[in-house]
Amino acid sequence: MDKIYERINTVFRDFFDDDDIEVDASTTADDIDDWDSLSHITLMSAVEEEFGVRFTMGEVSGMKNVGEMAEIIKARGTKL
């Protein structure tokens, strides 16, 4: 899981253009200033591309935190 979080952090830092971002399992959109409903879809696409996974619409809209995202990636990821 450490490698997954390292790569998720890289995606978030690139996406939000902020090298200080450090996400963990409990990180939510409320913790990152520019993470709103509009940027969420594009961010999920960037994560999908990084890991070679596809989230369902239900997963994208229902993710409560980065930990749920990491668990889906772990279960489904082909480019880990």
Distance between CA atoms of 44 and 50, rounded to whole angstroms? 10
Written as six digits, the tokens of 24 are 């963990």
Q: Enumerate residues 6+ apart whose C-beta is below 8 A from 47.
A: 8, 11, 53, 55, 69, 73
Query: Does the pLDDT value for residue 78 go beyond 70?
Result: no
The predicted-structure confidence for 2-43, as pLDDT tens digits, reads as follows 999 999 999 999 999 999 999 999 999 999 999 998 899 999
Written as six digits, the tokens of 53 are 């996974």
Concatenate the DSSP letters of all residues of 10-32 into one string. HHHHHHHT-TT----TT--GGGS
The predicted-structure confidence for 39-77, as pLDDT tens digits, reads as follows 999 999 999 999 999 999 999 989 999 999 999 999 986
- pLDDT value at residue 34: 94
Structural class in CATH, domain 2-76? mainly alpha
**Domain boundaries in the chain?**
2-76
Distance between CA atoms of 62 and 56, rounded to whole angstroms? 10
CA nearest 23: which of 63, 80, 78, 77? 63
